[in-house]
Structure 1
Amino acid sequence: MFENKDKPVIHPFRTNTGFKPGPTCNALENYIHKTKLELSSIPLKERQENLSISERNALASLKNNPDIVIKKADKSNTVVVMDKCKYIKEGLRQLQSKHYIEVERPNLMNIQNVIQEKLTEMHSNGYLDKETFRFLNDSKNIPRCGQLYLLPKIHKIKGTVLNALNDGLCSLKDLPPGRPIISQCATPTYKIGAYCDHFLLPIVKKQLTYIKDTTDFIVKLESLRPPPEVLFVTYDITSMYTNMEFDELITAVKEAYQNADKPVADIPYPKVSDFVFLIKTILENNYFEFNGKYYKQTIGCAMGSTVSPEVSDIRMYQITHMIMNQFEHANKVLFHGRYRDDGFMIFNGTRDEILKFFEIGNSCHRYLKFTYEISGETANFLDTTVYKGRLFQTEGKLDIKSYIKPTNNFQYLQRNSAHCQSVFKGFIKGECIRHLRNTNDKQILEIILDDFRMHLLNRGYSETEINPIITETKLLARSKALEKQRNKRAIPTPLVMVTKYNPCVKGLKRRLLKYWKDLKSDSDCNQIFDSEPMVAYSKHKNIGDLIIRARLQ
């Protein structure tokens, strides 16, 4: 341990082997022993309940109610309580489409055995290292079938109707459309999906239209100085994941993987034929259960599979590239970026000219369709609004601000919730920095932060804890908020004590550090342990975990 001072690279598919190291140097062993005694001597206060008996009874009633289904809304943190019969009706409506067929109970063990045979062959031929093979080897585990669930698209409901629903003034005859998600946990293809995604993600990142996240989008946009008359164009590719056929997806992935640069990597690259076999197996064996019956997806990628975003992205990039090659006004597209199935363009032409782009797009594929919005003034994309405001008029720089969705009900973490104090402070600071990053006009930022303050007050926070953080945010340089994160490998791995938060247990950090100086007095330990240990709290079960289920009960 002490001979190799270089920090090892963490394997991307590391598994827990259960290895327990033997005794090392005296300084480290003394620190471990004394700290264990310190932690075990912490006095425990009397347990505090954070829910009343009536609230616990209400939760149990909700959880066991056979007539309702509770889910989070699509693209929102809103919790939606639905009539179970209407939920099943919406699910069956979607399952009657060309994308799915009903099947007998699938032989999942047979699928798993086929996958394991291929993985064993790859390992024997040197295309799969020992650690990755151990991660992927599921021969001892019994596979489970996927579970279909729906996220209600309440953002599709008109604003006036949504307000009436929130006020209890009306009800819906039918549910809004649901986004179909197939939970893949413990399915035969779950782990090989993560493995394939490891190799496809670098390919997607090199696409010319690739947008990583909001920060990436803002940085790219703020480097532009478009002429005054440009149009903002946003588009959505309807059901992108589920509207591309297996053959075109497999062909696109094969071509992209075959032609991709393959720099020296942590793990061996699989052969093209083996990689295609795994992708084909994932796509063609997407079995799932809904309402006690079994189905198989026959077109597209499963929403919920780890590898689906990259597989769909690769094929969609080919399609948009083809459309752009046929588009006679492509030279007038000053910017084109895409985040999954959402696209953003800045077009220096007329509305009629850009409509031809979508005419080509809506006729070039059997299933895929584009919906779009065109504006000369403003556009919403990701969690930003891009517009021609004060900065555009004075500096030629596009104005950007945080976009607040109409369905946002501002149900922030309540101040009296059972969390450690740093969580509340960290949440406020994180949101403030997000608004700072998303908003390049200081006057607009003032308005947004004031609005945020009011919503926090409504959730039980005090001015004394809100105002210092907001003031600190206003003094920060926005360029810092837009900086790219450092490479994870460049960040030293911290020593972390992971536990669940308990308000009855006090002084964990102080006790961890009590004998830290003694440890650092040893020359070897001083070199290896370059930062103090920290306490991190893992997630407790919350109300959502108790009442929301993927599987239809």
Structure 2
Amino acid sequence: MPDKTPDNLSKEERSALQSLKNRDDIVIKKAGKGFTVVVLDKETYMAEATRQLSDKRLYKKLDPDPTKEFSIAITKTLEDIFEKNEIGINVYETLSPIDCRPAQFYLLPKIHKEDVVNLYTNITSTLGIKALNFWIENYRNKIDNRFTKEFLLEATELVLKNNVFTFNDKYFHQVKGTAMGTKMAPTYATLTLGYLEEALYEKANEQFDAEFCEYLKRNWKRYLDDCFIIWKKDDSDLNILNDILNELDPDIKFTMEKSSTQLPFLDVLICKENNKIATDIFYKSTDTHQYLHFGSSHPRHIKRAIPYNLARRICTIVSEEETRNQRLDELKIFLTDQHYPLSLINDGIRKAKELDREELINPTPNDEENIKILPLVTTYNPKNPNITPIVQNLNEILKTDE
């Protein structure tokens, strides 16, 4: 039976993609953040990768592939904790390494600034383990009783010290920091910086009065390596704070950007207007607004929800009505460029504008403890049959699986 599924790419687009794939003189990567795609000269890309991997403080070149040796060490650790009943058979089997291969090293072009310089590669194992030990001891009640502190620290060290990868048919071992591709990296980095913030508050007590130290604790904001605070003292005191930050650990360095009018924090632009704080949405200069094309091969409900959710984001972030309407008009242009029906865009914007902004800013938290969701994730293909009725029929059986 012939395939009647329409191709969402034209013949010209498919030919262009194939032509790009066949070229061996360029490297195509997405930027480290945002939706931007970057085309690099391959020689430049290889030279930069070689330069980074030549840093002996961070990487060690290996002759044989140590993956098998590291797999044996991981298996031994899992066997030990399984015998101590710290993990069950399902966890043991899930974590056990099978047919392991080293990771592939690659570069993502960085076209954004950050407040903490090269955070992941600069967190030493000593600092990271000390931070984890601090949080485990202070929040033991938040951790499953099956897992001892010793196991958690040992497992973390296994991840940190056995990071092996290949590049250009050569093997390397990362000897400092944690790789950005490691699943635990964001949580690990967050806990480490949180630990340093505790030290920051202690050091601040030695330099500032009690009232300001309390203000600092309440108003210092951070998301991963981006930090923000509204400063109420003079510049000399701000420089003192910056010095304290950069003396917390010799390997962790902070950069500082300040302004008396406006500063971005994540996707929010905080503006000071006549002693009043206003917020606007912040787009990086490299943001191409390449939202999912309406002709893309994705579930229809996903594409239909995009105009509403993007409009809702604007209505949440932008505080002033005139600016909010301007940003929504811009969104209409961005989505029209991606071939979204105008009626769908207008409907999404209308629904978003009807929402109470106070409730958007302060949403009612869900009672997550009483919500039991069994996620089922499949790869979307328009050729596949609708599996919803099948899943509904098997729902009770699926719930019994551990």
Output the TM-score relative to the length of structure 1. 0.64
Alignment of structure 1 residues 122-521 onto 2, 5 Å: 122-138=81-97, 141-155=98-112, 236-263=115-142, 265=144, 268-327=145-204, 328-329=207-208, 330-331=212-213, 333=216, 335-389=219-273, 393=276, 398-482=277-361, 483=363, 486-491=366-371, 493=373, 500-502=380-382, 508=386, 512=389
- How many residues align? The count is 387
Paired amino acid for 2:90:
E
* 8 A Cα contact 1:244 1:367, kept in partner: yes
**What SS is found at the alignment partner of 2:104?**
strand
**What SS is found at the alignment partner of 2:86?**
coil
**What SS is found at the alignment partner of 2:106?**
strand
CA distance in 1, matches of 2:282, 2:39: 26
CA distance in 2, matches of 1:422, 1:106: 46
**What SS is found at the alignment partner of 2:177?**
coil
CA distance in 2, matches of 1:99, 1:430: 41
Corresponding residue to 1:59 among 17, 41, 52 = 17
Rg (Cα) greater in structure: 1
Deviation at 1:350, TM superposition (A): 0.8
CA distance in 2, matches of 1:495, 1:73: 30
Show the counterpart of 2:31.
73
* 8 A Cα contact 2:307 2:348, kept in partner: yes
* 8 A Cα contact 1:237 1:342, kept in partner: yes
**What SS is found at the alignment partner of 1:237?**
coil
Which 5+ residue runs of structure 1 have no aligned equivalent?
Answer: 1-42, 157-234, 520-524, 530-553
CA distance in 1, matches of 2:108, 2:347: 38
The 1:145/1:487 distance shift into structure 2, 3 A limit, reads: farther
Post-superposition Cα deviations, 1:338-374, rounded to whole Å, max 9, x if no partner, equal 1111111122211111111112222443222111112
Deviation at 1:75, TM superposition (A): 1.4
The 1:62/1:236 distance shift into structure 2, 3 A limit, reads: same
Post-superposition Cα deviations, 1:506-532, rounded to whole Å, max 9, x if no partner, equal 9x59x949xx9xx9xxxxx9x979xxx
Deviation at 1:81, TM superposition (A): 1.1
Post-superposition Cα deviations, 1:370-417, rounded to whole Å, max 9, x if no partner, equal 111122222210111112248x64xxxx32221111111111222333
**What SS is found at the alignment partner of 1:313?**
helix
Deviation at 1:67, TM superposition (A): 1.3
The 1:54/1:375 distance shift into structure 2, 3 A limit, reads: closer
Report the aligned-residue RMSD: 3.0
Corresponding residue to 1:121 among 80, 96, 110 = 80
Deviation at 1:44, TM superposition (A): 8.3
The 1:499/1:96 distance shift into structure 2, 3 A limit, reads: closer
CA distance in 1, matches of 2:288, 2:373: 38
Which 5+ residue runs of structure 2 have no aligned equivalent?
Answer: 398-402
Paired amino acid for 2:327:
I
CA distance in 1, matches of 2:372, 2:189: 35
- Relative contact order (alpha carbons < 8 A, sep ≥ 6): 1 or 2 greater? 1
The 1:336/1:458 distance shift into structure 2, 3 A limit, reads: same
Higher helix share: 2
**What SS is found at the alignment partner of 2:50?**
helix
